[in-house]
Every structure is written in C-alpha cells, then in structure tokens.
Amino acid sequence: MKNCQNKNPLVRSGTSQQQRWRQGLSDTYVQVDERTPADLLIFARQLAGQLGFYDLENKLSGDWSGFFSNDVSFLIAILANNPTKAFSEKWEGLVKEVEVEVNGLFAQVDGSGDLLPGVVANLPSFIPAYKKLHDYIWSLAALLDGQTNKLPLGTGLRDFAKATIAKDCSPAFKKLLGLYKAGINAGSTDYVLIDPARRQNFGAVEGLRQRFVQDILALGLSEEWLPTDKPWQDFFDDDLDTEQYKTAFGQNVPLPMQRPEEVAAYLLPSLLPLRGVIDTLFNVFEKIAAAAPASLDETLDDWPDHQPHIALYLAFVKLFSFAQNHINGLKERHLDYYFKEVLRLKEKPAHPDEAHLLITLAKHVEKDYLLPAGTAFKAGKDSEKKEVVYKATDSVELNKAAVAHLRAAYFSSADGKLYTAPVANSEDGQGEPLVDDNGQWKPFGPVTQFAGADGRPVAPTEDEKKMELFRKVAQPQYTGFAVASPNLFLKEGRRVVLISCTLSDPPDAWGNFKMWDAGLFKLLFTGEKGWLEKDLMWPAMFFSGKLWWGCLLSPEDPPVLPFDEKIHSGGFATRLPMVQVRMGENEDTPSPYADLRQLKITSVETIVDVTGVKDLLLQNDLGRLDPAKPFQPFGPLPRTGSALYVGSNEIFQKKLQNRLELQTEWEGLAEKSNIYKPPADVHVSIQNLHGVSTSQLIITKELAPEGRLEMADEHIPDYGRSDFRDFDFSENKPFDTNTQKGFIRLELQNHFGHAGYQNKFAEAASQLAAETIDLNRITDPQFKSGSAIVLREPPYTPLFSAFSINYQAASAFPLNDADEHSFHNRQEQFFHLHPFGHREVHPYLEETGAGVCMLPPIDHVGALYIGLRDVRPRQTVSVLLQVAEGSANPLKKRQPVEWHYLRGDRWRTFDEKDEAAVTDGTGDLLQSGLVTFRFPHDITDKNTWLDDGFTWVRAAVKESADAVCNLVSVRAQALRVRFENNDNAPDFLDQPLAAGTISKLVKSDSSVKKIEQPFTAFGNRPKELPRQFYRRISERLRHKDRAITIWDYEHLVLEHFPEIYKVK
C-alpha cells in the first residue's frame, strides 16, 4: 500500500482551461490606440476647455467647453470615465492620516504605560479629524448625484443609475447619517467626537469638488439617496434614530482615556462601518461605469436630439473606430504571419460529431435487414433554419435480437470467493432500482465498489447506507461439482456416503495428507421433496492421491431418489440420483476453491454403506411372503432345494463390495429346546440372476436360541450387476420367469431333518413301546441318551419375524477417456456447478484428452454476461455499450477485455472459427461504443451453464476489475451516425447534439418501426478560432509535442480534452 504520509513538497493546484490563455496573445492586451469612444469624447471636452472663444468683435469670451457640456453622449462618457481608482486612493490616504495620528499618540506613554498628560489633553483636538472622512464620502455622493441628474429623462443609463443608488446606497447612507449623528451626540461637555461646525478640507482630488456634511444636510440630494418627504435637516434632527449606531463610537467612553488601549477600543472601531459605506459607493460607481458603454453606443447610433456640431463630431468618432481597429490589428496580423507563413501552421478544421442510434424493425420483417452506409437521418434544424442530416458511418445488419439479461460475476483470488449479480444493472445486483442520477452501474457486480487492495470486499465503517448495501452484495456464492450415479439410489436405513476424486497430479506441497474444515463444504442430495442438504461428518481430506468427502444420512432422512426437474429444478440433463458438492459460501473463512481450482481428476468414485434395508420383496416356492409378520422363508417343510427369493432394486442392481449382511430375527427358536436338529450344518447358496455361489451362508446345526446366519468365508462375490445399464428405479416387482435383475435366491443345499424325522421317530417310539429296549436298533443318536430313549420334537421350521439387509456398494466413473463411444455409453455423469447454472463434464466434451478439472475453472476476476434473445446462426448483432467515461480507476493499468460466446456450455473465443468475429469499439470498456458480434453457424441457445433459451456472450478481464468504466446501458441493434455538413450554420458544432433529437429517416422505410437516440452526441469540435489557434501554437512552441515537465503534461491533456476543467 502506498504511503500517503509523505507529501510531495511541490504544492500546487494544477492548471485550468482558463489559465492556459496568455494575456500577451490577446489582441486587446496592448493596443496601438487603446482609446475608447468615451475617451475621445472626454478628450474633446477637455480640449475645448483649453481653446479660447472669440466673439464677433474678436474679443476673448471664455472657451469652447460650453458646446460639449450638456450633450447626452458626453454626459454618459463622463460617467463611464469617473476616476474611481483615484477616489479610492484618496480614501486610503485619509484613513492613513487617522492611523498615523493614533499611532503617534500610542508612542507617547509614561513608564506605567499610560498616555502622557499632555497627550490626554490633546485628545479633543484629535477626535474631530474623523469628520473629514464623512465630508469625503458625501462629496462623492454629491458628485454621482449631479452626474446622474444631468442625464436627460428617458435615458436608460439614468434609470439604471437611480435604481442602483436606491437599492444599494439608500440603506448605506442612512446608516452613514446615523453614525454622523451618533458621533455628534457622543462624548462629554469638554469635547465631542464629531464637531458639526468644523470645516477642514480633505485635499484636492481630480474631478471632485469639496463638500461638507452640514451643507449636504441643508440642501439635500435626490430622493433615491434617502427615502424621506421632509427636508434632510429636519429628518436628521427629528426622525433619525441613532441608538443602533452609538456603540460604533463607544457610547460610554471613559474620560479621560488614560491608556492607548482605551483609544483603540473606543475610537478605531468606528472606521469599520465607514469603510463599508465607501465600499458600497465605489461598487455603485463601477456598476454605472460598466453599463455606460452600452448606453453610449445607443446614443451614438440612435439619438435624435444631438446638435449638428455634436453629430458631426460623433460621426468622426464612429469613423475613427475603423482606423483604430485596423491599426490595433497589427499584432494579430504579425502573429498570423509568423504562425501561418513562417511556421506553416493552420487552424484545426471542424470535426463532425457522432451519435449512436437504436433501430427497431417492424413486425413484418422476418429476415435480416441491411441498412447501408450513408443512410440519412433527420436531426432538426440549425440556427439558420437549415436541415441537419446525420448519415450512417457503416453498413449494419439489423434483426430482432435484443438484450434480455445482464449478469455479472466477481472473483476474489485472495480468498477464492465468487460474488455474483443476477441483475447486473441494479443497485444491489438483485433488481433494486439504481440510485445514481446518471444510472451507472458496476459491470462486474456492485460488490466491486467495496474491493480492497487485495481484491477482497472491505466493509465501509462510516456510511450506514453503504454498510447496508455491503451486507447485501458481499454474499459469496458457491462453486463445486455434482455426481449423478445409480449408486446413490438410497431409499432407507442408516446411509454413509463417500465421494472421492482421484487426482491426476496432486500438488507436491500436500504430501500424502491434507485436511479442510468440514464447515467449508455442503452436500446436497436429490431428496423426496427437494434437495436434501447435509453437512460433512468429518473433515474433507486428501489421502493417497484422492480427495474424500463423506456424510451420514440417518434413517429419519428422506430417500435419495432420481433427479426430477419438477421437484428439484436446476435443469440437470439426467434421470439419476445426484449429489452436489458445494464450497465457497462461508463468509468468515477463505474458500477451499483457492486450493482446488487447478486440480484435474481421472475418476470419481461413490461408496455407499447402508444398514437396515427393509424395503424388500420376499418370495418362496409357495408364493409371496409378507415381511410385516412372521413368515417361513423356506416353507412349512423345508427340504433340499427349497428357496427364498429376496428382491431389491436398490441393492442388487449395484456393484456390491466387502459387505452383504442378511439380518434376521428368528421366531420361536428359544422355546425349542427338545427339537430334532439337522444332522449337519445347513448350507444355503446365494444365487443371483447372473450366476450361482454356493456355501456362502451357513445355518449352524446347533440352532442356538439367537439363530445365527453366518458367512462361510470373508469373500463376498459380486452379487450385484457389472454395470448400471437400464437401472430400474421403480418399486420392487414380484419374481417371475421374465425377471432379469434385482433379485437373489437363497437355496437350501441340505435339509433341517424333516424328511427322515418321521422314520426315526417311529423307530424310537416302537422300541420305547417294546418289552425289551434294544438301543442298537436306534440309528439316530439324537433319540437316545445313555440307556434311555428320548423322543425328540419335530425339527425346527425356520420362522423369521424380521428380515433386513446391510450392504456396501461402490462405483468408479472414469474421466480419462475422451472416446466418443465412452461418452455416449456413460452410465454416470459428472457436472461443474456455478451460481448461474451447471454443465456436464467429460473428456470427450472438453476436447482436452485425459483428465478434466474437478471444479469449474475461473480464470478472470470480473465477467459480464450478456443474454441475447432471438439470435439465429450466422447473424451479426451490434450492441451499444454506453459507459460512464472517466469512472475507471486511473491508477490501474489498462486491462484487455476478452469476449467469448457460449456454445455447448463451453466458452469459446470469437477467433476459434473463421465465421465468428467480434469488433470492440469500446477500447476495453473505457469509452462508449459499439461491439459487433458475428455468430457461427452452430450457435445455439440451448444451455445449462446460463439460462436456457438465450445466446450468451461474456466480457471478462483477468485483473483489476475497476480498470474499466461503469456502464450505463447495454442495448442491441445499434449503429453510429456522423454529422453531414451541408453548408450548415458555423455554430452548429459548438454544442453536441442533444439526446432524442434524431428519430426519423430522411427517406422513410416501412421496415423501420422506431429510431432512438438515447444519448448525447460526442466528438464534436468546431473549427478552431484564432484565439484557440494562438493558444495551441504558443504552447506547442514550448513543449514541442513532448511531455517532459509538469507544465507539458497538463497543457497537452487540456488541449486534447477540452471538456476537462483542470489537470494536476
């Protein structure tokens, strides 16, 4: 971060456009003859006063001034040339006299700091000097009053002067009289602050006659100076209230004033209100002098009351002005000769302005409409009532394509978070109306206005409104991937789901193990009523070349079913169960996307471990069984070959591994203590529809009370299917001769003893009934115990009160084969997830060979997505991007804007195909302009990465999202027109053409429904005036078109950008 504490020692305010002009270049700066018409009139009047007049007897009789004294033009000339500068200097001199006298008094102090006694005694003679200031002000007022009253009635200058005096001077001079009267009444019997009888001249001033206040009060001035019907002296004596003015002279002046501080405190402040009055009077003099030249011109051109001799002289003054102008043009002619003849430089010609138009075609136009270059448009009339015409600069193909959506995304690489704006041209990115008066918005989302130095959004701490907006827009969005697989068909039970991705080239920095917090990820399954969101049951981890995620679905969680657009939405092109792995939505911690964004994978594996599957279809040789109540799995008299059929679409269509457990609860086994047991362990073969495996399950011959059903060995054969082709997600159906999947058969390989029990029982019973028992005749040892015969109860017939299955299944989806056949025969799917949509990923689709990115790659910091509707293949669409020029960060390096179009859910450059092209007239979004897109023949609006039904283009920058300007508008069917000068008024290009001026063609066309000019024209520059030419060349002679010094930079910028006020 730059250190803002080290300030540059060169402190300057920069250079403005006004400061560029050098007064020496002005044709009025120094002239050969600088006399104005008023000067010539005054000169003639003064000269007449120096010439003696001889009467008819040839005797001296005065002078010639009487011939020029009362003409209106001469009277106005006098008002125009009042020596206000001399008047002001005289006033300052009078004030200086007072200050010198006061300072002299201050210097005469004793050792204690008090004024010397003699000085105190002389104070009365000092104080009346203030009256000279009052006399001087009233003398000036009398002069102006006399000059104004001499003007003839009906003269515009007379009316203006009297109105100005009444408005500005009347309040000030009433205050002046109040100060004068308050000064008279202040003081003591020993002396007064103002002596009204004192007459002391203030000294000679050119053009000013000495007057005294007491004389002015006696005679009065015009009514404009003091609004009263009484004589001024009576008003002064009787009506003038001085209470508000007494404090200016110190009403309670301590007498005698012993210290200099007392003199300064009570006498010097009275100078301040006097200065206010004199300043007001000088301003009135200047206002009248400023208005006098225009009034003088009126009397020179149109005044019928001039005397003949005056009229002759005035005619001479007017004619003399032509000679003056010619001789005063000597300097300008010299500059022209040097700049144009010696240096061979010329004024810049006029540059026509340009404008952007938007065209709407009529409904009946179905095909593309070619608007040729040179098409003329009406733009009203100029100041000379001539028609103004603008013509199209280029041919443009018009069609029905229009901008329908504007979306934005901003990626903070520092923490791996993605921020999106579904409605980019809105205040909060979600559709809230813009508050900016100019309607400008951030092209890469409103969150970019809060981006800090490293790109991460930083909350504003001072502005509460900004803070509220920050909370809305600084919400990170997810990225991730999704897997669609039949292996995720999980309807019930306790379900543990593992997802792993095999990396093609794990980062060396990870070693063999790395973990990420479980809270950084979310898993979403296609549930029964929508997406089922689950947290990880342990941290995500990298181990032995694979990334692992795992979660637990409890028996209370709904089933995981195939994706259904009506239930789950999202537009996934699959009918398989799905799981989404999302990341990046945690506001407080960095997203793991920063670690995982570059990884490529070769396969995705799903492993499910399920306990307690009860949704089974059970059937034996006698028919279908109801698992809701106790049932005999092998019938009432099980024998060798008796079978139990177990059906489950969830289990037996998957690739089982490591675990297949049949969980049974035996009914009535605990009460059978004297039963006839099988002669050996009962072997049960497990058969699926694709093969038979025997001796896999054993029912032990002991038939313990808990009834065990054990595996004969640890190896579990592949009881599921070898692939997922034609996976059936429907309800379990009964087994019949047409059943081809979804069942296993448990078949008895031997029996429980029912077949031989009757014979053995009869044999034992007959011996028991005989007189002499021959145990050797008992062939089955279960019927004898020592020397006694034991009659056993019939063998136990298996009876299950409950039956469920535990299993584990796995499936690996390879992503390293780019063959077309492998893609079209895929049985699982892999998707990239993005806040705006998704896309299926496969090596064949990526066209990159083996391996695909695990996550959607984001190789830019900012992206603007433009959704166009009604685009057809091979069409050209011209889009106007109006920017708020100057809103880009000037401290950032210019960033190239990359344009792409979306086809097949892949972003493709416009130079990928010869038939596709883009022309960017915005200068990387730094100026308003047209961007023209030429789409290829295979363009389509079928997308899942963004909204379906629209053709999408993207503008993206890789760095510095604020290096481009804010946008104001993005609209299609635009063209550029330029002013066509048909001998139009020279001042037409002084101002750019206002928005909305152009709305019609010169030659109407039924194919065009509407023409809009949404923004003001630009680029206008009138022909360079001589003053501008002199300024530009004088600057060029200094910097020579090379920017080396600060002065060079500032003046070059101001020349090239006349709309800029100041450069620093």
Q: What average pLDDT does the structure give for the chain? A: 85
pTM, 2 dp:
0.71
Instruction: Give the CA distances from residue 745 to residues 198, 645, 1060, in Å, rounded to whole numbers and listed in that order.
Output: 141, 4, 89
Band of the pLDDT at 719, cuts 50, 70, 90? low
Are 465 and 484 in the same domain?
A: no
Count of C-beta atoms within a 10 Å radius of residue 354: 17
Share of the chain above pLDDT 90, in %: 47
Q: What is the pLDDT of residue 959?
A: 92
Q: How confident is the model at residue 190 (pLDDT cuts 50, 70, 90)?
A: very low
Residue 827 has pLDDT above 70, yes or no: yes
For 92-99, the CB contacts below 8 A with 24+ separation are 93/203, 94/132, 94/133, 94/136, 94/202, 95/133, 95/271, 95/275, 97/129, 98/129, 98/130, 98/133, 98/271
Same domain, 169 and 272: yes
The 3-state secondary structure of 718-775 reads: CCCCCCCCCCCCCCCCCCCCCCCCCEEEEEECCCCCHHHHHHHHHHHHHHHHCCCCCH
pLDDT reading at 406 higher than 90: yes
Residues 564 and 708 reside in one and the same domain:
no
User: What is the reported pLDDT for 757?
Assistant: 75
* pLDDT, tens digit, 9 for 90 and up, residues 662-710: 888 877 665 666 676 776 666 777 766 544 344 345 555 444 444 445 5
**951 and 979, same domain (yes or no):** no
pLDDT of residue 818: 83
pLDDT value of position 692: 39
Whether residues 723 and 669 fall in one domain: yes
Q: What pLDDT, on a 0 to 100 scale, did the predictor assign at position 265?
A: 65
Residue pair 156/238 in contact (Cβ under 8 Å)? The answer is no
Dump pLDDT digits (tens) for 630-651.
Answer: 888 888 888 888 888 888 888 8
Q: Is 218 contained in some domain?
A: yes
Upstream peptide bond of 1058 is cis (omega within 30 degrees of 0): no
The residue behind tokens 């050797």 is: 776
Q: Tell me which range, 216-225, 418-427, 636-645, is most confidently predicted by mean pLDDT.
A: 418-427
Residues 6+ apart with CB under 8 A from 803: 614, 616, 618, 627, 633, 662, 663, 664, 665
Q: How confident is the model at residue 669, as a pLDDT? A: 64
Residues 6+ apart with CB under 8 A from 369: 361, 397, 398, 399, 1007
pLDDT at 662: 83
| Number of folded domains that form the chain | 6
**Residue 199 corresponds to which amino acid?**
R
Q: Which phi-psi region, left, alpha or beta, contains residue 569 (left: φ > 0; alpha: ψ -120 to 50)? A: left
Measured CA to CA, the distance from residue 1013 to residue 1015 in angstroms comes to 6
C-beta separation of 945 from 869 below 8 A = no
| For residues 893-898, average pLDDT | 94
What does the pLDDT read at residue 701?
A: 44
Q: Give the burial class of 209: count Cβ atoms within 10 A of its Cβ; 0-12 exposed, 13-18 middle, 19 or more buried.
A: exposed
* Least confident piece of the model among 158-172, 369-383, 737-751: 737-751
Residue 917: how many other CB atoms lie within 10 Å? 15
Q: Poorest-confidence range of 6-10, 612-616, 891-895?
A: 6-10
More confident position, 665 or 124: 665
Specify if 138 maps to a domain.
yes
For residue 41, pLDDT over 80 is answered with yes
CA atoms within 13 A on the CB side of 760: 23
Q: How many residues does the chain have?
A: 1064
Backbone dihedral angles phi then psi of residue 491, each to the nearest 5 degrees: -90, -25
Residues 794 and 720 in one domain: yes
Per DSSP, which regions of 564-681 are E strands? 578-583, 600-613, 617-620, 623-625, 643-647, 656-666
Structure tokens at 1045: 């010094």
**Is 30 inside a domain boundary?**
no
Within this chain, do residues 163 and 182 fall inside the same structural domain, yes or no?
yes
Q: Are residues 687 and 783 in the same domain?
A: yes
Element (H, E) at 145: helix 130-150
- Omega of the bond leading into 555 within 30 degrees of 0 (cis): no
- Taking the C-alpha atoms of residue 1011 and residue 1014, their distance in angstroms, rounded to an integer, is 10
- How far apart CA 259 and CA 246 sit, in angstroms, is 21
Integer CA distances (angstroms), 553 to 480, 485, 500, 534, in order: 21, 17, 17, 8
Residues 140 and 254 in one domain: yes
Residue scoring higher pLDDT (569 or 768): 569
Tokens representing residue 298 in the block: 């009126």
Q: Residue 140 and residue 209: Cα distance in Å, rounded?
A: 8
What's the N-to-C CA distance of the chain in angstroms? Answer: 22
Cβ partners under 8 Å of residue 176, min gap 6? 134, 137, 138, 274, 277
Residue 367 within a domain: yes
Among 64-78, 245-259, 818-832, the range scoring the smallest mean pLDDT is 245-259
Instruction: State the chain's maximal CA–CA distance in angstroms.
Output: 207
Average pLDDT rounded to a whole number, residues 411-418: 90
946 compared with 243, residue with greater pLDDT: 946
In this model, does residue 521 exceed pLDDT 90? yes
More confident residue, 344 or 800: 344
User: Could you read off the pLDDT of 550-608 as tens digits, one per residue?
Assistant: 999 999 999 999 999 999 999 999 999 999 999 988 888 889 998 898 899 999 999 99
127 confidence band (pLDDT: 50, 70, 90): low
How far, in Å, CA of 745 to CA of 696, rounded? 12
Kindly state whether residue 740 falls inside one of the protein's structural domains. yes
Place of tokens 């051109």: 301
- Asked if pLDDT for residue 949 goes beyond 90, the answer is yes
- The β-bridge relationship of strands 837-840 and 540-543 is unpaired
Residues 781 and 795 in one domain: yes
DSSP 26: S
Residue 510 CA: distances (Å) to CA of 542, 598, 666, 964: 8, 14, 52, 38
* Domain span including residue 1062: 1-23+1024-1064
Would residue 294 count as lying in a domain? Answer: no
pLDDT digits 0-9 by tens, 477-509: 999 999 999 999 999 999 999 999 999 888 888
Q: What is the average per-residue pLDDT within 213-222?
A: 89
Between 130-150 and 84-107, two packed helices, what is the crossing angle to 10 degrees? 170
Q: Is residue 881 part of a domain?
A: yes
CB 282, CB 63: distance < 8 Å: no
Which of helix, strand or coil describes residue 935?
Answer: coil
**Is 630 in the same domain as 650?**
yes
Statement to judge: residues 180 and 269 lie in one domain: yes
pLDDT value at residue 627? 83
Helix (H) or strand (E) holding 1056: helix 1046-1056
Would you call 281 helix, strand, or coil by DSSP? helix
In a domain, 813, yes or no: no
The H or E element containing residue 336 is: helix 330-336
For residue 418, pLDDT beyond 80: yes
